Structure 1
Amino acid sequence: MALSKAFREQFRALAAHTDGIDVEVYRQFGKDPLEPIVGAGERHVRIGFFGRDPGREEVHHGEPFIGSGGKIVRKVLYQHLHGEPAPDVEALRTLGRLFFWINTVPYKPVGNKAWSMAVKRRFQPLVSRLLIEQWDGHEVITLGREAFLWFGLEQPRETREALEAFWVREDRFSASIDVELRSGGDARTFRLHPLPHPSPLNQTWFKRFPELLRARLEALGVEAGETPKA
């Protein structure tokens, strides 16, 4: 599913007034730094992945979750769905249509540092609308603390506190929590299934990430050969 013209224009308008986009990397690959990197997938798919922000490879390919961390996610998914390792990057890219992919801010930041709270808040209403209006699913696998706590932005205090309390639980990578997002007069409830960020720098959880993701997929009933539909 391609991002609608209306959403693209709104993202571009926000980006035009956002400092910190790594314009040099976009120029290296001949890419437009105002173009959002959103891999919306098919509208009917039932599972989405929510990350922090795109990196260098995401800029290069023009789609999210295709850099070092994203490839780890996709390799586990491919193995789970096909029963064998992915033969190449193109095989990993075919998974784009089977899941919904999005980040807190769909632009690469300078130095790959997390976007400031001010920038995340600026984009939060539009990203929320995208989730609510452009996707029929509600099962969201979040990657890392930043992505998980994003669902508390612009939310009532009790929601923020519930998410913060959930994140310090020992079973946070196997348990789940429901969160309601609102966009104007519309609202939808999403079930969050948090996982650690799949980065080699995350030494505590990096080696365990594949097994944790496989456990999430099994708990969500994703079976080999399935096209995960809503």
Structure 2
Amino acid sequence: MSDVDTLIEQVRQEAEREPFPIDVDVYKAAGKEPTQPILYAGNLKSQICFFGRDLGRDEVIAGQPLIGAAGTLVREGFYWAMHHQKPKGRKDLNSVCDRVLLTNTVPYKPPGNKAYETKVKERFRPFIARLLVIHWQGNQIITLGTEAFKWFAPYGAKGEINKFFQSSDRFTSKLKVTLTALDEQGIPYQRQVTLLPLPHPSPLNQQWYEKFPQLLQERLNEFEF
């Protein structure tokens, strides 16, 4: 069992330790065990991470984050940045996983697609932090939506994350923070990362949905492919 497999098993054990809201019906319909986390997809050696809020129905069925309507927009944009052409199908969309890490604030699907309460996010924070600090090797995190960006508040100066997100140029500016995590022996690790926030690419986000593809390309133009 690899180190990251051990991490996934520890997340599952934590999920079984005490009940919390999970959309059990969706997992059962997909033939999946509700407490088995869908922690990440992609390449742990990649430089770029897309960080979302939590899983949806399509993600549970596929067994990987960011593959529903919103995730498809992200993957299409990344594929375009790499190849300057549109993906032809699911194989092309999945190929972006060679170059990115995809994960969320909580590796489970909440009932009704409502954001998890803070206490649930905090319960799983140590595992997400360990993934980003100890297992992932990159340092550029594109956050998708308010919930995803504000997950990083504990790693900035007091009030820094909220103040940054209130600025009019938040979707073109960057913010560096230092993530911290403890390994299984309680040894501390840290990693400085750059946050590049974007709006959530949901069709329900009427203010930003049409603008999202261009904003994503502007973010990705900063990287070499």
Deviations for 1:127-181, whole angstroms, at most 9, x for unmatched residues? 101100111100000000100000114x4xx624000000000000000001111
Measure how far apart 1:124 and its partner are: 0.6
Structure 2: runs of 5+ lacking an equivalent: 183-187
Tell me the residue number matched to 1:150.
151
Instruction: Judge conservation of contact 1:105–1:123 (CA < 8 Å) in 2.
Output: yes
Distance (Å, rounded) in 2 between the aligned partners of 1:208 and 1:55: 22
Structure 1: runs of 5+ lacking an equivalent: none
Distance (Å, rounded) in 1 between the aligned partners of 2:30 and 2:174: 39
Equivalences for 1:66-215 in 2 at 5 Å?
Answer: 66-153=67-154, 155=155, 159-184=157-182, 185-215=188-218
User: TM-score normalized by structure 2?
Assistant: 0.93
Tell me the residue number matched to 2:15.
15
- SS of the residue corresponding to residue 103 of structure 2 reads strand
Report how many residues are paired.
218
- SS of the residue corresponding to residue 4 of structure 1 reads helix
Distance (Å, rounded) in 1 between the aligned partners of 2:8 and 2:90: 26
Measure how far apart 1:186 and its partner are: 1.1
Distance (Å, rounded) in 2 between the aligned partners of 1:36 and 1:14: 10
Instruction: Judge conservation of contact 2:41–2:64 (CA < 8 Å) in 1.
Output: no
Distance (Å, rounded) in 1 between the aligned partners of 2:132 and 2:86: 30
Instruction: Judge conservation of contact 1:198–1:206 (CA < 8 Å) in 2.
Output: yes
Measure how far apart 1:39 and its partner are: 2.6
Identity value in percent: 42
Instruction: Judge conservation of contact 1:3–1:38 (CA < 8 Å) in 2.
Output: no
Following TM superposition, the consecutive aligned residue runs of length 4 or more in structure 1 with deviations greater than 3 angstroms are: none
Of 51-60 and 74-83, more deviation after overlay is shown by 74-83
- SS of the residue corresponding to residue 40 of structure 2 reads coil
Deviations for 1:40-61, whole angstroms, at most 9, x for unmatched residues? 4222211110000010000000
Measure how far apart 1:95 and its partner are: 1.2
Instruction: Judge conservation of contact 2:177–2:194 (CA < 8 Å) in 1.
Output: yes
- SS of the residue corresponding to residue 187 of structure 1 reads strand
Does 2:214 align with 1:216?
A: no
What letter is aligned with 2:85? E
What letter is aligned with 2:13? A
What letter is aligned with 1:194? P
Distance (Å, rounded) in 2 between the aligned partners of 1:111 and 1:77: 28
Does 2:47 align with 1:46?
A: yes
- SS of the residue corresponding to residue 151 of structure 2 reads helix
Instruction: Judge conservation of contact 1:3–1:40 (CA < 8 Å) in 2.
Output: no
Instruction: Judge conservation of contact 2:40–2:104 (CA < 8 Å) in 1.
Output: no
Distance (Å, rounded) in 2 between the aligned partners of 1:70 and 1:160: 31
Distance (Å, rounded) in 2 between the aligned partners of 1:187 and 1:39: 20
- SS of the residue corresponding to residue 11 of structure 2 reads helix
The verdict on how the C-alpha distance between 1:105 and 1:3 changes in structure 2, with shifts beyond 3 A counting, is farther
